[in-house]
Every structure is written in C-alpha cells, then in structure tokens.
Amino acid sequence: MVSNPRAKFLNSIHSSIKPNGKVIIHGTLSNKFFNKTLKKTKNGLLIEGYIIDSYIKGIGSGFKNLIFKQTTGKIIEKKHIWTITLRKL
C-alpha cells in the first residue's frame, strides 16, 4: 500500500511484487504523481507492468480506520482521497 506518493515508484517496487500481486495506492488529486496515475487508470491504460484492478473515490471498506494527513499535520478528509488497485502482470 502506498499513500499519496510524491515520486514515481512503481519501477522501484516491481521486483518486490509477486506476479498477480496487488499494489494499492491512496492519493489526492492535488498530488501530481498520483493524479497522473489516476488519469492513466481512468483511461484504461497499462501502467508500467500492471493492469488496473479497480479505482474508486474514497478509501474502500478495508481501510476505514486510516487517517490521512498533509505534511503540515492537517487531516485530509476521506472524501478527497482516491484509491487505485493495480495487479502485477
């Protein structure tokens, strides 16, 4: 699971993920790295050796107890978070 990534990271973790393994990414639209990934996901584009499993606005029921904060410490409301699930080819 990756929360609001601030850099490209999929190539860095690729060798650590087993085939058919999932990568779950939480993020906000104001994050340019996350937003670029979300746009590719919404357009159905293949992302660096992964297929799109799902994307939703929100954090999903499995993560209801997570609290997301800005670097300033301010809490980010869950309604502003998106979740992308990718599956390694």
pLDDT digits (tens, 9 = 90+) for 15-57: 999 999 999 998 998 888 888 888 888 887 778 788 888 898 8
pLDDT for res 7: 75
Tell me the pLDDT tens digit for each residue of 46-87: 787 888 888 988 887 777 788 888 889 999 888 888 999 999
Query: How many domains does the structure of the chain reveal?
Result: 1
Spatial CA neighbour of 24 closest among 8, 47, 3: 3
H helices of 1-89, in order, are 10-13, 32-42
The dihedral through the CA atoms of 4, 8, 11, 12 has a sign that is negative
Is residue 55 within 8 Å of 38, Cβ to Cβ? Answer: yes
Backbone angles phi, psi at 40, to 5 degrees: -60, -45
- 20 vs 24: CA distance, rounded Å: 13
Query: 44 lies in which domain range?
Result: 2-88
pTM score = 0.83
